[in-house]
Structure 1
Amino acid sequence: MRLWIGLCLPQLPLEVFNPNWSADAGSVVLEQERVLVASSAARAAGVQTGMRRGGVLMLMPEARLHERSAAREAEALNEVAMALMQYTPLVAQAEEAALLIDIGASLRLFGGIHALCRRVRANLRALGFTAFVSCAPTARGAWLLARRNAGRALKMASLERRLDRLDVALAPPARPFAGWFEGIGCFTLGDMRRLPRPGLQRRCGRALLDLLDAAYGLSPEMFEWIEAPTTFHARLELFDRIENAEHLLAAAHRLVLQLTGWLCAHQLAVERITLLLEHERGKLARPPTPIEIALAEPTWRDEHLVRLLKERLAKQVLDAPVIGLGLQAEQVQPMAPPNETLFPEPGGTEEDRTRMLELLAARLGEDNVLQAAPQADYRPELANVWVPVQQKIRDAARDAQLPPDLHSLPRPAWLLAKPIALLMRNHRPFYGSPLKMASNPERIEAGWWSETQTRDYFIAEGEDHALYWVYRERIVGSGEGAEPRWFLHGLFG
């Protein structure tokens, strides 16, 4: 089923000019010296659309005036389009600050049209924008419904009923002839469809009929899809000096949403990102402060990235105020589809456990959350090193080519950081009680390239039936009367 979502910004949002604007502030956007958009406080003071600059300043001398910028509008629309590519790569730009999204193939993946529209609205709120959202079986139909905020129509029959009730002036080709349509009593698109097509074409041109045919599904529609760039680098300029790193999270979330859309459009997953905190320019210029986040497992979900950024920003101390943010995808790889099992594990998936470890590393520090990395060494204290959870250990594990029978030998759950020398009583090692050997010896000889170690390891049992891993240090080159030394190296659970 072909289904389209139409998004239309009802008016030029003030966030395009100032992301930190407040509804309580008197912010006004001017176009050709006339009011285009005003905040609620400005409207309460009497500012109206179309009023001149002098009239605004007379009513509200403290009003903050902004000039309309076509470049910023285009950047804002492109920002929204990039974020929405996480749902489908088929995103097109329409007239009058609108976007059209072909989501027919994405409905089942995101739980249906209602759930998908909720997600789209949530993304728009996170980006700092509001929009009229509609859906229809045709792109032009979705655009017309979004322009009037006329709701959703999932079937052609309901779409025709909704379109027939829309105002004639909603169609751009009909606006120059608004007086003529009013004179003949044609007020809705339904009235327009009942007019003779040859006469309507001679009076208004072919563009109006093409728009009606496309909206009502009578002719095919062709669009030029927005293409995601080959590499990702997004930047956001702040309109205030931020001195607390935690206050940067909302702006960073906007950049992460764009990254999510870019990753989905290219079917990629990110392994490492860098958030650049830009500082003052000019005489007080200083290089940006980078915040790098390395992931143990590649991801393309914005929720996990935002949580990690939240933890890192909470610990970040700013040496200078921040006036802008930049986000770069440093390392990506092809997206791996999720492995759905018939009976999910009750303890969560491997991805859930990895995300928990990454969150702990971001909160406690990378050096405080470690994982074991086996090494190709027979000496027990050197057969493993502890590395951060973000570090890949597959290569190290593959290089640790020890004999297969070594992995079947018993090893204690607790290996002491430094062996403890044992006392000798009646020619037997003593640790709380005399120890009785409960296994055959396992001889380990290694380290000739640095410091030779020659040991015989035993499993020893105490009088309380606790098991210990002890070794007898072989004395090479000494006389026969030399007494061997015993050491405790590990404890069994």
Structure 2
Amino acid sequence: MKHRRILSLWFPRLGAERCLRLERGLPRRPFGVVGEERNAQVLVSLSAEAEAAGLRIGQPLRDARAMCPELDTRLRNRDLDAAFLGVLRRWAGKFSPWVSEEAPDGLIVDLTGCAHLFGGEGALIGEVEADCAHLGISVRVGVADTVGAAWALARFAGGTADAARTGDDINQEARATRSCAARRRHWVKGGAAPAVAPDMVRKMQIAPPGATRSALAPLPVAALRLEEETVATLARLGLRHIGDLAGQPRAALGRRFGRHLVQRLDQALGVEPEPVNPARPATRFAVRLTLPEPIGLSEDITAAIDRLLDPLGEKLLRAGRGARQIRMECHRSDHTMQVIEVGLARPSASGDRIRPLLMMKLDDIDAGFGIDMIRLEARATEPVHSHQHRGHAEAASDGATRLGSGAALDDLIGRIGARIGLESLTRFHPGDSHIPEKTALIVAAAWAGPAKNWPRPAMLRPSEMWRPEIVLAAETPDLPHRFRWRGRDLELCVALGPERIAPEWWLDEPDWRTGVRDYWRVTTRTGERLWLYFGHGGTMSPGWFCQGSFA
């Protein structure tokens, strides 16, 4: 039976080297990526030159500037770093189909049954390092039988004989003896660490099959992916190496440090399984047309679009999905690209519904020196379902009318949205509230269907509604015959009401602090048709207000 073999890839300078890839060929200066932690700017990723200058991860930016005035910095962009790690994950797929991401700067590869294709594990690691050197990326590797062991070897084995790996770091000594440790000559007692030969580094990086426990024994307990507080507590107890920890009773460790410590130890030693979960590849719906000669005429671009829409629609139909957003890329002969995007009010795979939207944007394309490749991609898709009629009567009358009018309205929304943006088109939907101003919700027309089952209020609502305005009248519940509103004296002619509406007691709304309201439909002698109410006073004084008008 073959041993399971895991490869761990750690990119210790991922953020910094991602930015430096854009500046290849320029003189290398100390470079760092700055992030915000605890309301302070600190260094989160450093280049090799910055580390050689004495800078460290987590160091405040002001201290780093004082130590290295020529330091060049950029702000951290988590999204770009995650996208770049995804690119590296796809690259690592050449070694094995089972690759998962260890955010924010690592990959886990299941090499079981794959290493012999590259000449063995040593040759495979050599190819990994060669590819990363070509990409300008620093990498540390580790190979073992378990995920936890490979992770530990990649970060704590190889390179120089790190003091943290031996457990004799000067910071681990008592404060009373720390000042004397720097004067000791032997490196174990605080001096400089000796260099390690390259062949020895490779042996540290690869744990032979079945030798996981012996490979992990000299590593520090931090290699078990534990929290800093747990590592510090173990160091105070004298448990600095994994070998020291592995010989302790599991029950005592579980009672003292919890289940997490025991689980991490068992995962690293292979007692508890830890699977490699590869990321599901993103489903892309895209087609492209490479042209033998650059084109620039609108007729040629239209012909290319017509050739691409049918294959794109077939891909969408096979997957049972419809496009909501279409992206068209026009790659020009001078290695530049122009992009146009259109959105659909309803998901569709029909080229007849996508083509008019692209034609509306055709004038925005600048061919430049010519377009030699056109690509169409459905950036956003949704599941679509075919409509099935329940009978001949419905198919002949109501069903056909409903489907036809709905498709026409969706096409209209899509065309208007191509001009002013789909987010600018809204429609009303019924709201679940008895408060008049909350009975209608404004939603995006492209992402919501026509409203149905509107609730019928007890009395007719005004065609125009606004926030309550003060009406000068007697502060009594009796409807006044004369009142003053917006600087005008008005006289009552006809009134209908009252309709009592109570506030939502579970919400504190400033406009409803007047408590229970009695609404009246009022017509004045000068023709105004107003919506008045008397607030009986909750946390405010009672009085009359006007909230709307009827057409």
Higher relative contact order (CA 8 A, sep 6+): 1
Structure-1-length-normalised TM-score: 0.46
Structure-2-length-normalised TM-score: 0.41
